[in-house]
Amino acid sequence: MHEKLGINIVIRTEKMNGKSVFIVNNEEVGVADFGDTLEDAIENFKKSLALYLEVYPEKKDLFIKEETQTPLMVSRILI
């Protein structure tokens, strides 16, 4: 059975040196990174998280999701 990591992230934009950048972070482990585009920010975050988990492999247990789990369905309703 293959393990996948599931992690909650917060994405926001911020001004750096006069331009907008995307910032991606996870508060559970305190890892964050940024990029000029959302895709770059997410890729940079993944690299930073991988490095973090190399140093603190015991933290990986926080994010392991079994492949056989049923995905969570999220929907929005208007009241």
Tens digits of residue pLDDT in 24-39: 999 888 999 999 999 9
What are the structure tokens assigned to 56, written together? 């603190």
Residues 61-76 have pLDDT tens digits of 877 765 545 555 554 5
Q: What is the pLDDT confidence band of residue 2, given thresholds at 50, 70 and 90?
A: very low
**Per-residue pLDDT at 59:** 87
CA angle at 41 for the pair 21 and 67, rounded to the nearest 5°: 150
Q: Give kind and range of the element (H or E) at residue 7.
A: none
Query: Does the predicted model carry a pTM greater than 0.85?
Result: no
- How do the domains of the chain map onto residue ranges? 3-66
Give the SS3 label for residue 50: helix
**Per-residue pLDDT at 79:** 47
15 Cβ neighbours under 8 A, 6+ residues apart: 21
Phi-psi category of residue 67: left, alpha or beta, with phi > 0 → left and psi -120 to 50 → alpha:
alpha
3-66: CATH topology? Double Stranded RNA Binding Domain (3.30.160)
